[in-house]
Structure 1
């Protein structure tokens, strides 16, 4: 007993001496550093000019890096340069703050952590409690960021050397050291290439403890021997590099304990058959992985090849390995490729499938979002992982707000984040555990999403889904039908050209039993233009709705409204098929791709017909009016659809211009007038420009239903001289309102008219008529009847196709396209249809 105490005391003295030697070395280092500083100060007198220039340059570079980091904190390289410069300048305080700032934004590599800790050790004596605690925390943070066996070994050696309890081998110190070793084994013990370093350090520590036991205390000594033997057995069951040396070391140790007489002569299987079997299995596993290890550790391969080798290795482990071994290999891969999004996505997906919840998964997501903050899917998965782990609302809110500060490559990623946040709030609000969670948080989240995304996602399914979800929660959780209607009305302002927006609104009202409200929505949208067959679908939907919910009067009213609309649409489809067939016959060699291009100028749904009537003989009109498609930019409608709205002007002078209704407006010498007074008529406009204003035609645009002026007009002039004189009158008043006069430029919207002769003929005819004492108005008749249906159609300049316009866009100048419109949708829908021949077209009518 006394001998053991003496040995322990001697060991303690050796450790103390080693510590004192370490302290002396540190003092010598500090003294040498101070002396070097003095020498540098002395030498500065000889090199004042050069040193001052270097210092000025360093200060200038330092200011530049500081400015860059303020404007762009996510610049990883700027952080590294800033830290390197501060380290060179010896500014300890700024260096420490710079490292802390960088570590908050990015995981630091093992090399950076080791450099940081090395600097702290050189500046502080680790034996001091505050210095020891600070360095210990640095090690803990360092091994958390990335897997590094070398950093773990430094961490272990630091604790053994500077922790008083561990150094004295007290029971508390031994327990602390063992916990640290077990943590290291959990993190890196399965590292095939370097994991044996931690195992060997653990064994050496346990063997050192064995030396402190007295031979008299046989029971305690035997317990320690079993601990060392168990540690050997554990290591031998793991496939690691250097397994042959480990088995040799184990046999040698057993010989020292008396269990084996000779290392070479006696086989391990004779004494510990289960250990031999585990060792052989581990050896076979190592041999199966040997070539894969060589590939990822080879210094002669490119990064892309090494990454591919890692992926192959991971597939192999996933097919034959354990979850813990797969996790270690993922950690090795992300240490080498920390900013590879696919690697993090695969890693987190694997953890979600195996571990589901726990601090390990949350820690990995924390590092993943720091390494690849631009990947929205990682943030979404992170939020879901926290929710599975029953994280607090505070933690979830912080992660959500942090994710919104990142820049993603697509708007769908932002939308997914908002929806994930709402999903979590809804689930927690429905559960009994979140009674304090208020619905207003969900409403605020929806509002933020709408405000942020609406300008960029107009007429998209994603934004429509967001508003539909919002409206549903307003009725289910918020219990506020008025708020839900407000959501749908806002959605219609943004996605009103989508059929689904209207049908979704209607479906909500029907589900709530609000039949009258649903009917009013049908009345608002049945005449609107929708892509594809949406215009027909909404009409049929209204009829089905009235069959199921309405009275006979309601059904008759709906039928009266939609029948003319369906006739228009039917004629439009027929005309389109006929035109396509004719063009196909004219140019049969045109390939499918060129055929699809024919529809590229058709930017919206189109109306097929224009009614022609004899202005001077209204009795003759019903006989002569035929459904014909005319090449005209003016508004058209079907004969009989709104006959009561048509105004007939008996002015016989205008009969002379009926022949001109078949011609096209090329707008080569035309002005577009806006801000007209509602009472302004053609005579007002003619007098405004003067009797000799060279006016060829005046076209005032009227509302279809009320017949009132829209305050917009086109005026055609005879030549450029008169056109310039008209434009010069811009901002002058007519009936108390300042007119806005600008040249109509059809070339901006497309090619010129396909029939250029019509404009010349029209100008000559009009000029001749003007000499007789009157000006063509086009006019009260054509535009009061046809133009006041302007919401139905307008022609894109230079194209014979008639395109539908919505009520709010009918009066847009012809060289302006509606915002948010995507021509590719209609092109994709119509372009692939096989055109019919003339024979097929005639047969269709014969049937």
Structure 2
């Protein structure tokens, strides 16, 4: 054991300074002079003691929370540093069972095991590690390490035996399937494959020309396959092929060899591959920029994936998803897109199952991924044991919403229900029992959190229906409803669901008894009235006359009681909401009318003629409004009431929220709450308050929020997080400045008013308009007051209009059935035409 630990210590220090490796060697040899001084020995022992204390703390932490990824990673790192071989191996296996390991972690594990392997079968265990490693993430270096290890350590491969060659070629083909289409690094796998086959060629005896020729065709086929794939450095591959062909033909050289004349199909495939590469060169350049942020790089990958999906090559799409996931392993957008693509394209198979498994290992906190995994297992006809294990494992993780837990339980029940339809008769009881247990677990877990919600009611309704359909156990179904009513008896929908079930089963008497239990209960809104009326409708359809009369005797007093209660309480909530909406609409119209009528342009009035001695136009001046009777408005008053209203509104708001150092956040997922936003700005810090805007009727988030900060430093850092992702949506973050909106609104209103007044002042040949406050237009001779539209009349003869407005009546309104264009005149017409004298008398009649 000590010898293994020494070898491991030397291996983990391969990249350490030279003196560190010498010190490890001295300790391995058991030298008494391992350190130069007592002080160095004391410091090392203190460091070792501190590491052991830290290891013990991590072990305690992992025993209480085995799903802590950071604790696992730190625990492995410490054990590797200390050389604890057995503990390290167990820690890696435990972490690998729960989480995917990075390519670097796998390479370290394989190298550590290779340095420790002395017993028989150790190489096979390392091959198993590599086989498991290449499934987590797409990594060209990891594949090359795997291939090199098999070529060096496997005796059959080294000896080029038939079994060894088959094993090596199968490994190379697997590598090409996984990464041969990797545009930037896939050529490394192709070159390694060709080099291996060329090495095999030189091991073939010259006395066997058929075997040599067969091997040459194999190498030539590899060249042809590579030249048909869009890869980087494709021109170099073509030159290497020409050089190789020239070596096989003594009469030509690499420059003069014409591939097109010998293999025209290869040239066509090469040109097509070059075109495909050129069409992707810009996308490859975008995702390979060094100065690109992670958010922008992920966005470029999504754009690239959209381009590949438009072309419809599933293999290339899969490889690109693997490349993106290798760089962004915890991106929910990538895993959602990848799993849905695989379900749509392949639907069943181990490949799709492996993708779902990796998705849940990388993002175990997303319930939708677990649901997709369970559905994938069901499509692939997985065993009940495997599906049950995945379901139990999913419940160990924490999800952001209770709906995700509910979706998991329902998915499990759905699968069991579908299985009953196709399973053997002997397995039905076990499936039915699993359904009951799943429903019970869901109810026990979700009832305290989803009390009085439609989601929980639908869960119990589903449960009760399966009890009657699958188990033919009506008593169990009633027990489900009774249990639900104990916690959610104030839900009208729950009682209705219970009654509906009894009616569907033909149990009219039980339904009637439920009506008798709930008709006197108080339900929100008009629910109490609805249940009473529902009972009456039920008795009309199913009951006898006596039963209907009995229902009337009970329901009528209850309805009167509810009516009196409603009168005492005032308008109902629905009426309040409706009245509030109407009032808001009226105020809005009123405010718009006030803005438009602050300084309306006055119509130009005709000059009032002087009173004639003959009595013409008598009493005309009595109808003229004197502007001196009412104090005229000063021009500096603004002539309106809109600006003071804005000021008051601003002052009122400033008493509650200053918005001096506030960020306005939009495009927020409706599932996000204050805790999610607090966590999103945790790296910025300085958050003092978070206000999520919600709909005043439904209470749901509108996707908008205000976030207050301590000072501008934190606010600027928060604004710098603009366009970052939260729950798969890109947030828009800007500094809140409500005063700017009010100033612009006030400016537009002032400009409109000024423009209107200016237009009026320029009319009437330059005469001043009566629409401007403070001006009293006079007649053409400057005598007497003009007509003002703003001053109320004090004249006794002034007629005040009351009642409905009739001036806005449409002039085109006609009686029903009247189709003539001219107005109808029911007066009798004079059929005799008038003479000229008669017309003169009519015109000059005084």
- TM-score interval, normalised by the smaller of the two chains: 0.5 to 0.7
Structure 1 Cα separation of the partners of residues 695 and 271 of structure 2: 65
Deviation at residue 223 of structure 1 after TM alignment:
2.0
Distance 1:174 1:586, change over 3 A: closer
- Residue 532 of structure 2 corresponds to residue 539 of structure 1: yes
Structure 1 Cα separation of the partners of residues 123 and 192 of structure 2: 21
Deviation at residue 142 of structure 1 after TM alignment:
0.9
Residue equivalent to 2:397: 406
For 1:404-443, list aligned pairs within 5 A.
404-433=395-424, 435-438=426-429, 439-443=432-436
> Given the alignment, which residue of 478, 483, 508 partners 1:485?
478
Structure 1 Cα separation of the partners of residues 300 and 221 of structure 2: 35
Structure 1 Cα separation of the partners of residues 581 and 165 of structure 2: 91
Structure 2 Cα separation of the partners of residues 252 and 82 of structure 1: 52
Residue equivalent to 2:57: 64
Deviation at residue 281 of structure 1 after TM alignment:
1.2
Structure 2 Cα separation of the partners of residues 292 and 585 of structure 1: 55
- Residue 442 of structure 2 corresponds to residue 449 of structure 1: yes
Residue equivalent to 1:463: 456
- Residue 25 of structure 2 corresponds to residue 34 of structure 1: yes
Deviation at residue 422 of structure 1 after TM alignment:
0.7
User: CA-to-partner distance for each residue in 1:73-122, whole Å, 9 max, x for gaps?
Assistant: 22222222222222222222222222112111110000011111111222
User: CA-to-partner distance for each residue in 1:791-823, whole Å, 9 max, x for gaps?
Assistant: xxxxxxxxxxxxxxxxxxxxxxxxxxxxxxxxx
Residue equivalent to 1:273: 264
Contact 2:468–2:474 (8 Å) recurs in 1:
yes
For 1:723-762, list aligned pairs within 5 A.
none
Structure 2 Cα separation of the partners of residues 828 and 569 of structure 1: 26
Residue equivalent to 2:79: 86
Deviation at residue 189 of structure 1 after TM alignment:
0.8
TM-score, L = length of structure 2: 0.64
Distance 1:583 1:561, change over 3 A: closer
- Residue 559 of structure 2 corresponds to residue 555 of structure 1: no
Distance 1:593 1:368, change over 3 A: farther
Distance 1:578 1:175, change over 3 A: closer
Residue equivalent to 1:52: 45
Structure 1 Cα separation of the partners of residues 67 and 78 of structure 2: 18
Residue equivalent to 1:183: 174
User: CA-to-partner distance for each residue in 1:644-692, whole Å, 9 max, x for gaps?
Assistant: xxxxxxxxxxxxxxxxxxxxxxxxxxxxxxxxxxxxxxxxxxxxxxxxx
Structure 2 Cα separation of the partners of residues 34 and 579 of structure 1: 87
SS in 1 for 2:381: coil
Residue equivalent to 2:286: 295
SS in 1 for 2:34: helix
Structure 2 Cα separation of the partners of residues 318 and 475 of structure 1: 46
Distance 1:135 1:89, change over 3 A: same
Structure 1 Cα separation of the partners of residues 65 and 131 of structure 2: 28
Contact 2:100–2:361 (8 Å) recurs in 1:
yes
Tell me which of the two structures has the higher relative contact order, counting C-alpha pairs closer than 8 angstroms and 6 or more residues apart. 1
Deviation at residue 52 of structure 1 after TM alignment:
2.4
Distance 1:578 1:390, change over 3 A: closer
Q: CA RMSD in A?
A: 3.3
Residue equivalent to 1:136: 127
> Given the alignment, which residue of 149, 153, 157 partners 1:166?
157
- Residue 141 of structure 2 corresponds to residue 150 of structure 1: yes
Distance 1:423 1:165, change over 3 A: same
Distance 1:131 1:592, change over 3 A: farther
Distance 1:249 1:496, change over 3 A: same
SS in 2 for 1:233: helix
Residue equivalent to 2:273: 282
> Given the alignment, which residue of 338, 342, 345 partners 1:354?
345
Distance 1:391 1:584, change over 3 A: closer
SS in 2 for 1:458: coil
Structure 2 Cα separation of the partners of residues 50 and 79 of structure 1: 27
Residue equivalent to 2:335: 344
Structure 2 Cα separation of the partners of residues 342 and 583 of structure 1: 43
Contact 1:429–1:435 (8 Å) recurs in 2:
no
Structure 2 Cα separation of the partners of residues 434 and 42 of structure 1: 77
Structure 2 Cα separation of the partners of residues 582 and 389 of structure 1: 55
For 1:354-373, list aligned pairs within 5 A.
354-373=345-364
SS in 2 for 1:436: helix
Identify unmatched segments of 5+ residues in structure 2.
1-13, 589-693, 700-802, 805-846
Residue equivalent to 1:309: 300
Distance 1:585 1:325, change over 3 A: closer
Residue equivalent to 1:475: 468
Deviation at residue 430 of structure 1 after TM alignment:
1.8
Distance 1:353 1:259, change over 3 A: farther
Distance 1:826 1:475, change over 3 A: farther
Distance 1:92 1:278, change over 3 A: same
Distance 1:361 1:495, change over 3 A: same
Deviation at residue 240 of structure 1 after TM alignment:
0.9
Distance 1:585 1:270, change over 3 A: closer
- Residue 380 of structure 2 corresponds to residue 389 of structure 1: yes
User: CA-to-partner distance for each residue in 1:217-247, whole Å, 9 max, x for gaps?
Assistant: 3332222222222211111111111111011
Residue equivalent to 1:43: 34
SS in 2 for 1:455: coil
- Residue 315 of structure 2 corresponds to residue 324 of structure 1: yes
Residue equivalent to 1:724: none
> Given the alignment, which residue of 325, 333, 337 partners 1:334?
325
Distance 1:518 1:217, change over 3 A: same
- Residue 488 of structure 2 corresponds to residue 495 of structure 1: yes
Residue equivalent to 2:224: 233
SS in 2 for 1:334: helix
Structure 1 Cα separation of the partners of residues 581 and 544 of structure 2: 53
Residue equivalent to 1:715: none
SS in 2 for 1:391: coil
Identify unmatched segments of 5+ residues in structure 1.
1-24, 596-823, 830-838, 841-847
Distance 1:264 1:584, change over 3 A: closer
Residue equivalent to 1:518: 511
User: CA-to-partner distance for each residue in 1:419-464, whole Å, 9 max, x for gaps?
Assistant: 1111111111121347324212211111111111111111111110
Residue equivalent to 2:686: none
Residue equivalent to 2:613: none
For 1:14-33, list aligned pairs within 5 A.
none
User: CA-to-partner distance for each residue in 1:732-768, whole Å, 9 max, x for gaps?
Assistant: xxxxxxxxxxxxxxxxxxxxxxxxxxxxxxxxxxxxx
SS in 1 for 2:165: helix
For 1:645-794, list aligned pairs within 5 A.
none
Residue equivalent to 2:233: 242
Deviation at residue 474 of structure 1 after TM alignment:
0.6
